[in-house]
Amino acid sequence: MAYNQELVIRIQNALRLFPEEFSEKKMFGGLSFLYLGKMTVGVIKDEMVVRVPSNKMDKELSKPFTRPMNFTGKPMKEFVFVSEEGFQTEEQLQYWIEMGLEHAKSKLES
């Protein structure tokens, strides 16, 4: 399954601004970016996949360009799809990366 290479490059460039180190892994037919083995964000087709802390899911899903990640007929816990309108600017892209990193760090603390 193909995924948006331009978006991958944008994410790779944005991640260089963080002091944390990220790895890449093919997942869900796309490419994901992990922090200490925990998924933060990814690209599937032309959409971003973002891990979101559970206490922020309702707020993030209320945005018109987000929807639950659903591969099996049931939404996956703490995952959202973000359509292109949600990451057009670098500020928007940064927001989602920070959200995914926050989620990963919260899982490392528990």
Buried b (16+ CB within 10 A) or exposed e, 64-74: ebbeebeeeee
Cβ atoms of 65 and 82 within 8 Å: the answer is yes
pTM above 0.75, yes or no: yes
* DSSP H/E element including 58: helix 57-61
Question: Mind listing the pLDDT tens digit for each residue in 15-36?
Answer: 999 999 999 999 989 999 999 9
Question: Mind listing the pLDDT tens digit for each residue in 62-104?
Answer: 999 999 998 778 888 999 999 999 999 999 999 999 999 999 9
Q: What is the pLDDT of residue 57?
A: 97
Architecture of domain 5-99: Alpha-Beta Complex (3.90)
Strand partners, 32: 25, 42
Q: What is the pLDDT of residue 110?
A: 66
The residue ranges of every structural domain in the chain are 5-99
